[in-house]
Amino acid sequence: RMESLPEAVLIRILASIPAVDLVLACRLVCCQWKNLVDGTALWILKCQQEGLTGEESQENTENWQNFYFLSKKKKNLIRNPCGEDDLQHWGEVENGGDGWKIEELPGDFGKEFPSEKVHKYFATSYEWCRKAQVIDLRAEGYWEELMDTTQPKIVVRDWYAGRSDAGCLYELCVKLLSENEDVLAEYKSETVAIPQDNDANWTEISHTFSNYGPGVRFVRFEHGGQDTLFWKGWYGVRVTNSSVTVEP
């Protein structure tokens, strides 16, 4: 009988069951199973079996069940981050000058991107070009109790570069919003000025939101820029590979 098995053996058996079934079904079987599913040992074992643990997680993790689910769900929540689908999924688009343009890497007077997986970028023009996405965290599977109690890290990254023959400006602004879209936390970069005759290298900018308080339901990501010479065409800053991830 299952209840007669040593606890360590029962944990190993339960660890072979899909995580959702553990939470929704197995923990309802009896008090013993509930305690095991709500405990630490089972989830540490599942994390180890699926290669989700490391030295840092071993030291800093308080809730291993949340760590497991967050690690499994981790993905880029920005859609169309590299312009493969033109401007699809990007709203509140401001098309200053000649507007946004999608170009193939490396582009005129440009450099290849550090990752071979990125093939395109968005180019800006001689007046400010901006675009934004609003991410619905609940729609992405991040439930309210998790966001309010655990408050997992929200990590934002973006990449920008100039043309080597033109100067340009770049800005990034990310807001954490409530149900009513009140701003609960905000990160706004300085206005980055890239001079003419620059090296055209790609630069990553990042920010991590933590301890932001309860109530976060949306993430609003906005970036943009322009050139500083006011040349007709697309001589402004280039952006690509934007990302927003929710991490343990």
Residues in a beta bridge with 214: none
Q: Give the C-alpha separation, 175 to 223, whole Å.
A: 12
- Say yes or no: 128 and 21 in one domain: no
pLDDT number for residue 53: 74
- Say yes or no: 98 and 26 in one domain: no
Q: Is the pTM of this model over 0.95?
A: no
Q: What does the pLDDT look like over 122-162, one tens digit per residue? A: 999 999 999 999 999 999 989 898 899 889 999 999 999 99
pLDDT number for residue 196: 95
8-state DSSP, 86: T
Of 207, 133, 223, nearest in space to 177 by CA? 133
Q: What does the pLDDT look like over 177-220, one tens digit per residue? A: 999 999 999 999 999 999 999 999 999 999 999 999 999 999 99
pLDDT band at 73 (very low <50, low <70, confident <90, very high): confident
- Say yes or no: 115 and 232 in one domain: yes
DSSP 166-215: S-EEEEEEEEEE-TT--EEEEEE---EEE-TT-----EEEEEEE-S--TT
Q: Give the C-alpha separation, 57 to 157, whole Å.
A: 21
pLDDT band at 58 (very low <50, low <70, confident <90, very high): low
pLDDT number for residue 66: 85
- Say yes or no: 135 and 52 in one domain: no
Of 169, 171, 172, nearest in space to 227 by CA? 169
Residue 85 covered by a domain: no
pLDDT number for residue 23: 85
Domain range for 47 is 2-71
Whether the bond into 106 is cis, omega within 30 of 0: yes
The structural domain count of the chain equals 2
